[in-house]
Amino acid sequence: MATRTGTSAGVSTGRSNQKMRTRTAIVDAARQLIGTGGEVTMPAIARAALVSEATAYRYFPDLPSLISEALAGVWPPPADALAPVADSADPVERIAFACEFLLRGILARQGAVRAMISATIIRPETVTNRPGVRFGLIDHALLPLEDTLARTDPEAFAQLKRDLAVVVSAEALFTLTDLCGLGPEEAVASAVRTARRLTKAAVREMQ
């Protein structure tokens, strides 16, 4: 009896390890595909992981949940991302850096970002799977205004953050490239210019 119990435990452990290896292979394949910047689909990820598409869906119910796990830890914390402007007290300079940082990161992973946006449009309930990178960057970039604009006019400060959330975003970048016909560099420069203007206007009104 003891032998059968030990054998059963061994089989159970083996299956558990195999499931973990399969899950890891799927996530690693997704991460590698995301890194190419190309189109990201469940069939492509499954092929790269050497599993069937049905198997991939057994581990992840949808593409957004898989992409979300694959992107976990890829984006640095806001303080680390904005380290090059950490000594600057100029919110305009800081928001410009944050905007460019985000948009260049999106360009490098645009296949995955497009897939996430598409999924959340079709299924709004999956929006929680999208990394909210922009908001942390905006909040950290505007820290110099916490003791000024945020205190004197909280609504104006909140409105500035909402305005910047529209500009410092994948949606803005893809509007500029896909609909306005700008190249990637032009699109980034345009969005950064707009983010600077919005922040500069808010600072000017505060004075």
pLDDT value of residue 7: 60
Phi-psi group of 77: left, alpha or beta (phi > 0 → left; psi -120 to 50 → alpha; rest → beta): beta
Residues in contact with 109: Cβ distance below 8 Å, sequence separation at least 6, in sequence order = 34, 35, 37, 71, 74
pLDDT value of residue 121: 81
Question: Average of pLDDT values for 177-188?
Answer: 98
Residue 195 has pLDDT above 70, yes or no: yes
Phi-psi group of 73: left, alpha or beta (phi > 0 → left; psi -120 to 50 → alpha; rest → beta): left
Instruction: Quickly list DSSP for 64-91.
Output: HHHHHHHHTTTSPPHHHHTGGGTT---H
pLDDT value of residue 17: 84
Residue 189 has pLDDT above 90, yes or no: yes
pTM: 0.84
Chain centroid to CA 100: how far?
14
Residues in contact with 34: Cβ distance below 8 Å, sequence separation at least 6, in sequence order = 40, 67, 70, 71, 109, 111, 112
CB pairs under 8 A, 24+ apart, for 20-27? 22/49, 22/51, 22/55, 22/59, 23/59, 25/49, 25/50, 25/51, 26/51, 26/55, 26/56, 26/59, 26/60, 26/66, 27/66, 27/69, 27/70
* Per-residue pLDDT tens digits for 4-13: 566 665 556 7
pLDDT value of residue 10: 59
Residues in contact with 180: Cβ distance below 8 Å, sequence separation at least 6, in sequence order = 187
Give the start-to-end residue ranges of the domains of the chain. 2-71, 78-206
Mean pLDDT for the chain? 90
pLDDT value of residue 5: 60
Residue 59 has pLDDT above 60, yes or no: yes
Residue with tokens 């203007």: 197
pLDDT value of residue 16: 78
Q: How far apart are the C-alpha atoms of 188 and 177, rounded to whole Å? A: 9
- Per-residue DSSP letter, 62: S
Residue 160 has pLDDT above 90, yes or no: yes
Q: How far apart are the C-alpha atoms of 190 and 55, rounded to whole Å? A: 43
Residue 3 has pLDDT above 60, yes or no: no
Terminal alpha carbon distance of the chain: 82
